[in-house]
């Protein structure tokens, strides 16, 4: 399985993920036998996606706080979700179905050490619900599907569908079904549409997505139904002091010899800088022996943020030491340690110094392997066992960063030009890619590489036999344009730009090109439809599904506030910088009491009203500030590119670089294939090899956007009607005339130089 290190972010992109290194062993599922198997999978995915989507709800409260997802598991309205989701809800719980149906709910109980909780709809009725899978049936590489409400409820979209596979099962199910903020509490399904887990937390790479197993809910079912709660690991309220000193770890059960096991490490935290990893067992902290989680927290609670502490922990039977500096919880949750701070001292094993040299050996081995691969100009091939021996993808990324820090400018330039791809030899992924070969072969020589001043910036899609190619526009605004097709390169000229869609139509002087075959009935494309995208080399770049059907992302009105319900209206809790609200003088703490002269409803009704307006529309508000009321006219702006929350933006970016533009398109199809920004511009294919659209944006951790084929065909019709018809003989005559003029100019230049030299 081939993966490429994203050169500048150095995050390992795993199209279908890696096996969790510390997870319990699972029986391997069957390999994909061919295209027939994928077609059968496609039928199952299409069959379950819309049905399961109907039961995937958003949870939030009118009193502000957080929000999340959940899934209905009974016709009476019982909902499974994550404990940290219910802990973030303040006041009355609102349950929102994808079709906009809104119901009141109540929080029941939870197992807060395992991140499991229940919510119940309090209004009588019969609700769409899903079936629960049996325990103990999961296999490694088993296909799975994630749904949820990433970024919060959006009335303009159904819960995005994402495809992946089960990687490991332990305290959590680990999968490469990519989830992100807002998905928490949402469902993980098998391809039959049976619930197998609930989204809990994520790591830095796309293969680090953790879900609460159903066995946890079954074990504590009666207790949670009775409204009882136990545990505290995922309980934020008792630990909510923003000044509390933290090191950035999730703590679990005691280790076999005492201490407390690390269940997760936050990116950018003091713990990560000190080298702590999931699975380590902390044995001593700040000079005190650690017996369990509560004991460690009691010691840490007596310290101040900013204090450096030493700790001892066990990893793979060996004791190690580390030093870290505690930080305020608010600082960590607001973005972790400053990038300008020096790295904390790395861990070193307790005891003999020579063991430290042994620990560094994998990095030295990796450096040698990479340099040799660069020298040979080939790929670095790793087995799963070799990857584990090197510490996994995160350790590899750190090693490459350290290697780059030691390089000079010339070496860095060479790395940028010759960086080898990392090939993980994974039989399952190989079987998937082999099954896709008949699909991408139908678009053979229909995908090209677009270069600006000799540097690849995007892929392109061949759309006509006589040299027309569609590609990204923003990446091609300046510089000399060339197109590489196979072993041939062609100068390219711009025919027409389509800025609203971030596309440009190029022309090259090449005949008998092979244009893509367009899908015949785009409107019949359904949620969950399997997709792939070919590279310029004719290989499948991955596999994914239609996550959200065709919808508009342009001109949706945006005010730029987060609000909460109060008695007289809605209170502004937060204002997005540089938004329409900020420009109009609205501040946090203001209370909006009237909208268009009428009493304002709750935050959800207000938000839906804004979404029904377009950029440029004017809203008339009446706000109250310090007991005084005033009228405010607000001209709505366009929704900004990318997430508006810093935390949500960080979660989206930590799996790799995003495109500079992620919204504002008249129509898009959303899918879940994780492409690099420079891999956009190429076609998206269904299993028949038909083009359903052109990729234009890697817009987030869980989404890639494509302009649908129907919109593309309209653009091409416009371009054809605008292009004047040119006779080939006339064109040849013009070229000969230009050549003659150039020769005459050359002769004149020579005569001028001769005269000047006299």
DSSP-assigned letters across all residues of 327-367: EEHHHHHTTSS-TTSPPPPPPEESS-THHHHHHHHHHHHHH
pTM: predicted TM-score of the whole model, two decimal places: 0.71
The CATH number corresponding to 557-638 among 2.60.120.260, 3.40.50.10860, 2.30.42.10, 3.40.50.1980 equals 2.30.42.10
Tokens 């309220």 appear where? 237
Please list, in sequence order, all residues whose beta carbon lies within 8 angstroms of the beta carbon of residue 557, skipping any fewer than 6 positions away: 610, 611, 612, 613, 614, 615, 617, 636, 637
Whole-Å CA distances, 687 to 194, 433, 596, 683, 723: 25, 12, 50, 13, 34
| C-alpha span between 594 and 609 (Å, rounded) | 13
Phi, psi of 324 (to 5 degrees): -145, 165
**Equal fold, 242-344 vs 557-638:** yes
Considering all CA atoms of the chain, what is the largest pairwise distance in Å, rounded to the nearest integer? Answer: 105
| C-alpha span between 580 and 644 (Å, rounded) | 13
CB-count exposure of residue 349 (10 Å: 0-12, 13-18, 19+)? middle
CB atoms within 10 A of CB 664: 21
| C-alpha span between 681 and 228 (Å, rounded) | 53
Q: Is 439 helix (H, G, I), strand (E, B) or coil?
A: helix
Angle of CA points 378, 384, 390, to nearest 5°:
75
Contact 146, 162 (CB under 8 A): yes
CB atoms within 10 A of CB 480: 10
Q: Is 654 helix (H, G, I), strand (E, B) or coil?
A: coil
CB atoms within 10 A of CB 725: 5
Tokens of 537: 């080399």
Q: What is the pLDDT of residue 254?
A: 77
| C-alpha span between 198 and 210 (Å, rounded) | 8
Q: Is 305 helix (H, G, I), strand (E, B) or coil?
A: coil
Q: Are strands 162-169 and 143-146 parallel, antiparallel or unpaired?
A: antiparallel
- Angle between helix 392-405 and 354-376 (nearest 10): 80
| Average pLDDT, consecutive stretches of 10 residues, N- to C-terminus, the chain (758 residues) | 29 31 66 96 97 97 81 98 91 90 95 95 97 93 96 90 94 92 95 97 83 96 95 59 76 78 80 89 91 80 87 91 86 45 35 36 57 66 66 62 64 63 75 96 93 96 95 95 93 94 95 90 90 96 95 82 85 87 91 90 84 86 91 84 57 74 90 94 97 95 94 88 56 68 71 65
- CATH 2.30.42.10 assigned to domain 242-344? The reply is yes
| C-alpha span between 523 and 531 (Å, rounded) | 16
Please list, in sequence order, all residues whose beta carbon lies within 8 angstroms of the beta carbon of residue 101, skipping any fewer than 6 positions away: none
| Partners of 145 in the β-ladder | 163, 189
Tokens of 157: 């979209």
Which helix (DSSP H) or strand (DSSP E) does residue 706 occupy?
A: strand 703-708
- Find the radius of gyration of the CA atoms of the chain: 28
Long-range Cβ contacts of 488-491 (<8 Å, 24+ apart)? 489/451
Tokens of 208: 């680090």
Q: Is 246 left (phi over 0), alpha (psi -120 to 50) or beta?
A: beta
| C-alpha span between 270 and 307 (Å, rounded) | 11
| Partners of 199 in the β-ladder | 211
| C-alpha span between 720 and 47 (Å, rounded) | 39
| C-alpha span between 120 and 104 (Å, rounded) | 9
Please list, in sequence order, all residues whose beta carbon lies within 8 angstroms of the beta carbon of residue 210, skipping any fewer than 6 positions away: 172, 173, 174, 199, 200, 201, 202, 203, 264
CB-count exposure of residue 249 (10 Å: 0-12, 13-18, 19+)? buried
Contact 623, 590 (CB under 8 A): yes
Provide the CA 5 distance to its chain's centre, in angstroms.
Answer: 16
Contact 506, 460 (CB under 8 A): yes
CB atoms within 10 A of CB 417: 10
Q: What is the pLDDT of residue 396?
A: 65
CB atoms within 10 A of CB 332: 23
CB atoms within 10 A of CB 619: 21
Q: In CATH, what number does 432-552+653-720 get?
A: 2.40.10.120
Tokens of 573: 């809790």
Q: Is 589 left (phi over 0), alpha (psi -120 to 50) or beta?
A: left
| Partners of 684 in the β-ladder | 693
Residue whose C-alpha is closest to residue 323's, from 307, 310, 342? 310
- SS3 assignment for 166-217: EEEECCCEEECCCCCCCCCCCEEECCCCEEEEEEEEECCCCCCEEEEEHHHH
Q: Is 319 helix (H, G, I), strand (E, B) or coil?
A: strand
Contact 110, 88 (CB under 8 A): no
* Domain locations along the chain: 35-230, 242-344, 361-425, 432-552+653-720, 557-638
Please list, in sequence order, all residues whose beta carbon lies within 8 angstroms of the beta carbon of residue 518, skipping any fewer than 6 positions away: 690, 691, 709, 712, 713
| C-alpha span between 75 and 126 (Å, rounded) | 5
Q: Classify residue 585 by its DSSP letter.
A: T
Q: Is 161 helix (H, G, I), strand (E, B) or coil?
A: coil
| C-alpha span between 581 and 592 (Å, rounded) | 12
Q: Are strands 229-230 and 102-111 parallel, antiparallel or unpaired?
A: parallel
Whole-Å CA distances, 47 to 43, 52, 526: 6, 9, 9
- CATH 1.10.760.10 assigned to domain 35-230? The reply is no
Query: Hey, what's the torsion of the CAs at 607, 612, 613, 618, to 10 degrees?
Result: -50
Tokens of 498: 């389509």
Q: Classify residue 745 by its DSSP letter.
A: H
Tokens 């006779």 appear where? 727
Helix spans in 441-564 (H): none
């Amino acid at each position: 399985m081939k993966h490429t290190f994203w050169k500048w972010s150095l995050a390992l992109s795993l199209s279908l993920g890696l096996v969790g290194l510390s997870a319990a062993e699972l029986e391997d599922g069957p390999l994909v036998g061919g295209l027939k198997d994928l077609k059968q999978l496609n039928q199952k995915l299409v069959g379950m996606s819309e049905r399961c989507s109907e039961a995937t709800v958003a949870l939030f409260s009118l009193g502000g706080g957080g929000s999340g997802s959940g899934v209905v598991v009974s016709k009476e309205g019982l909902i499974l979700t994550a404990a940290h989701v219910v802990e973030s809800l303040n006041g009355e719980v609102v349950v929102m179905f994808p079709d906009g149906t809104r119901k009141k709910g109540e929080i029941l109980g939870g197992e807060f050490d395992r991140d499991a909780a229940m919510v119940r709809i309090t209004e009588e009725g019969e609700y769409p619900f899903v079936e629960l899978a049996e325990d103990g049936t999961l296999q490694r590489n088993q296909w799975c599907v994630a749904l949820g409400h990433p970024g919060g409820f959006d009335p303009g979209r159904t819960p995005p569908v994402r495809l992946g596979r089960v990687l490991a099962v332990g305290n959590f199910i680990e999968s490469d079904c990519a989830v992100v903020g807002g998905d928490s509490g949402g469902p993980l399904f098998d391809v039959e549409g049976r619930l197998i887990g609930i989204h809990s937390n994520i790591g830095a790479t796309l293969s680090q997505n953790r879900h609460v197993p159903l066995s946890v809910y079954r074990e504590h079912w009666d207790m949670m139904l009775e409204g009882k709660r136990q545990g505290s690991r995922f309980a934020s309220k008792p630990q909510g002091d923003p000044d509390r000193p933290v090191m950035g770890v999730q703590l679990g059960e005691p280790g076999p010899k005492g201490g407390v096991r690390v269940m997760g490490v936050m990116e950018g935290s003091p713990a990560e800088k000190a080298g702590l990893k999931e699975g380590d067992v902390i044995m001593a902290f700040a000079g005190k022996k650690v017996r369990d989680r509560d004991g460690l927290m009691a010691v840490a609670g007596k310290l101040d943020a900013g204090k450096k502490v030493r700790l001892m922990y066990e990893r793979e039977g060996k004791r190690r030491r580390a030093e870290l500096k505690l930080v305020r919880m608010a600082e960590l949750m607001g973005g972790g340690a400053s990038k300008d701070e020096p790295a904390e001292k790395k861990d070193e094993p307790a005891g003999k110094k020579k063991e430290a040299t042994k620990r560094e050996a994998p990095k030295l081995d990796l450096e040698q392997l990479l340099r040799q691969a660069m020298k040979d100009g080939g790929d670095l091939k790793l087995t799963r066992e070799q990857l584990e021996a090197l510490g996994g993808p995160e350790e590899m990324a750190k090693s490459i960063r350290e290697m780059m820090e030691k390089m000079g400018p010339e070496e860095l330039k060479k790395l940028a030009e010759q960086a080898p791809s990392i090939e993980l030899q994974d039989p399952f992924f190989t079987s998937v890619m082999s099954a896709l070969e008949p699909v991408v072969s139908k678009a053979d020589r229909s995908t090209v590489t677009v270069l600006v001043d000799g540097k690849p910036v995007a892929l392109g899609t061949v759309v006509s036999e006589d040299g027309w190619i569609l590609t990204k526009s923003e990446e091609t605004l300046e510089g000399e344009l060339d197109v590489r097709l196979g072993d041939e390169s062609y100068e390219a000229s711009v025919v027409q730009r389509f800025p609203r869609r971030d596309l440009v139509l190029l022309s090259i002087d090449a005949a008998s090109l092979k244009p893509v075959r367009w899908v015949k009935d785009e409107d019949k494309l359904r949620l969950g439809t399997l997709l792939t995208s070919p590279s310029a080399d004719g290989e499948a770049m991955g596999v994914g599904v239609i996550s959200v059907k065709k919808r508009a992302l342009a001109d949706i009105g945006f005010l730029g506030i987060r609000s909460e319900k109060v008695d007289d209206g809605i209170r502004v809790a937060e204002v997005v910088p540089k938004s329409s609200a900020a420009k109009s003088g609205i501040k946090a703490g203001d209370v909006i009491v009237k909208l268009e002269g009428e009493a304002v409803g709750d935050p959800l009704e207000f938000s839906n009203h804004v979404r029904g307006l377009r950029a440029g529309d004017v809203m008339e508000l009446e706000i109250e500030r310090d007991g005084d009321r005033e009228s405010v006219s607000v001209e709505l702006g366009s929704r900004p590119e990318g997430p508006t929350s810093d935390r949500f933006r960080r979660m989206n970016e930590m799996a790799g670089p995003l495109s500079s533009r992620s919204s504002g398109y008249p129509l898009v199809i959303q899918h879940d294939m994780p492409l690099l920004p420079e891999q956009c511009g190429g076609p998206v294919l269904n299993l028949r090899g038909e083009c359903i659209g052109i990729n234009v944006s890697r817009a987030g951790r869980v989404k890639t956007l494509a302009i649908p084929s129907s919109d593309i065909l309209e653009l091409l019709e416009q371009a054809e009607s605008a292009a004047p018809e040119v006779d080939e003989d006339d064109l040849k005559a013009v070229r000969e005339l230009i050549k003659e003029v150039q020769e005459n100019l050359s002769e004149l230049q020579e005569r001028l130089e001769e005269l000047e030299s006299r």
